[in-house]
Amino acid sequence: MTDDARILSVRGLNVQIPVPGSVLRPVRDVSIDVGRGETVAVVGESGCGKSLTALAIMGLLPRQAKVQCNGLHLNEESLADASPKRWRQLRGDRIAMIFQDPMTALDPCYRIGDQMCEILQQHRKISRSGAMARSLDLLGKVGIPAPEERLKQYPHQLSGGLRQRVMIAMALLCEPELIIADEPTTALDVTIQAQILRLLRDIQRETNIGLLLITHDLGVVAGMADRIVVMYGGEVVEVGTCDQVLAQPLHPYTEGLVRSIPVPGETKQGEALGYIPGVVPRQVGERTSCGFVDRCPYATGACRKGPIAMQDAGNGRLMRCILPTDGSARDPDVWILPDETSAQSATSSGSL
């Protein structure tokens, strides 16, 4: 990607949160690029730091969190040292955010139309009737039936799917260059999820906005993303195009994730699924080894010698692992571990 096509460029983002007795480091040295018209998915499980990364990029972290980065550019403008006032100008205007739960993200006391007008009038010199007209226009565009009536309604009068459409319309009000969507469909039913994702993708293609999609769901990623950034333990562990990463994951964590999801038609009923043993460790202190080493079936002594650097795997792919980049050392069956159940019942009585 050439530099001028970049909407967002984050370099070496670190977040530290002081807690009694220690300092949490939930985001470490994260670098992400989003191009114009590109969808980049940040994937990982709970506690991997993906949501904090999004909030840090939006400048929305609470004050006690310490954010450091080597560069944060939105469309050439450096935001690393931007004033709070500049941030307020940017948010909702150049960068918009879509949250997981539209019910809590919308203010229950105000009508939909008023909330939309407020955003527009804050960022643009526009009359109220002009703002209403634009809001109406956008509600129609995101596929909300009878948009005139919706403008006069309160958030609780809408269903979850409609509320998320309203959120998307609000994000589009000022024609942003970048939308950050944090788990935009996790609270929705599966059939609604598919509709909302389609809507997001269609709008993004039409307007050439950069979309940073934060999600835990690899299925959503598969349907939406151009590129994938996989995070684990606050670090980016793998970067690549969507098809590359899903078809041939390089980092053991990504591989474990892909192997642990049942797919109707592919995995057989009751077939033992792969899984990643252990739990996500607390993110404290400096790294002295690979962050995934305790859960990794490929781990060797070399993995504990120090923090692992990002390796270039060719074709624009990166991975934070010392295994060969060509994927030759892989064994998909390594994830089909003997379940704790059968392993332990062999030693104990064996019956319930």
Evaluate whether 120 touches 174 at the Cβ level (below 8 Å). Answer: yes
Of the candidate spans 50-58, 80-88, 175-183, 251-259, the one that interacts with another protein by CB under 8 A turns out to be: 251-259
Work out how close the CB of 182 gets to another protein at its nearest, in angstroms, rounded to a whole number: 16
Give the max Cα distance, the chain. Answer: 77
Rounded Cα gap, residues 37 and 178, in angstroms: 9
Residue 230-249 contact track with another protein, rule CB under 8 A, x = bound: ------------xxx-xx--
Is 167 within 8 Å of 98 (Cβ atoms)?
yes
45 versus 76: smaller Cβ distance to another protein: 45
Residue with token string 């307007």: 207
User: Which three-class secondary structure state does DSSP give residue 86?
Assistant: helix
CB 341 → another protein: shortest distance, Å?
A: 5
Shortest distance, CB of residue 229 to another protein, whole angstroms? 15
**Of 84 and 265, which has the nearer Cβ to another protein?**
265
In the region spanning residues 108 to 137, those forming contacts with another protein, defined by CB under 8 A, are none
Which H or E run contains 161?
helix 160-172
For residue 337, state whether it binds another protein (rule: CB under 8 A): yes
Residue choice 222, 310, 322, 334 for contact with another protein (CB under 8 A): 222
Under rule CB under 8 A, residue 226 binds another protein: no
Specify the stretch interacting with another protein by CB under 8 A; choose among 102-110, 163-171, 270-278, 316-324: 270-278
Separation of alpha carbons 256 and 201, rounded Å = 28
Q: Per rule CB under 8 A, is residue 84 in the interface with another protein?
A: no
The structure tokens listed for 96 are 């918009």
Does 216 contact another protein by CB under 8 A?
yes
Would you count residue 193 as binding another protein (CB under 8 A)?
yes
Question: Closest approach of Cβ 271 to another protein, in Å?
Answer: 8
348 in contact with another protein (CB under 8 A): yes
Q: Which is nearer to another protein, 109 or 190 (CB)?
A: 190
Question: For another protein, which stretch binds (CB under 8 A), given 6-14, 27-35, 147-155, 255-263?
Answer: 255-263
Torsion of CA 333, 339, 342, 343, to 10 degrees: 90
What's the Cα-to-Cα distance from 349 to each of 69, 233, 235, 341, rounded to whole Å? 56, 38, 43, 12
- Can residue 195 be called a binding residue for another protein (CB under 8 A)? yes
Q: Is 198 in the site for another protein (CB under 8 A)?
A: yes
Asked if 45 touches another protein (CB under 8 A), the answer is yes
Identity of the residue, 86 or 205, whose beta carbon is nearer to another protein in the bound complex: 205
Residue 289 in contact with another protein, rule: CB under 8 A: no
Q: Does 263 engage in binding with another protein (CB under 8 A)?
A: yes
* Count of residues that bind another protein according to CB under 8 A: 71
Pick from 253, 229, 123: nearest CA to 180? 229
Give the angle 138-169-53 at the CA atoms, nearest 5°. Answer: 155
Distance CA 54, CA 36 (A): 18
**Neighbouring residues of 145: CB distance < 8 A, sequence distance ≥ 6:** none
> Which two tokens mark 128?
């109220």
Cβ neighbors of 194 (< 8 A, separation 6 or more) are: none
Q: Residues 4 to 43: which contact another protein by CB under 8 A? A: 20
DSSP state of 250: -
Residues 6+ apart with CB under 8 A from 190: none
Part of the chain binding another protein (CB under 8 A), chosen from 59-67, 93-101, 106-114, 154-162: 154-162
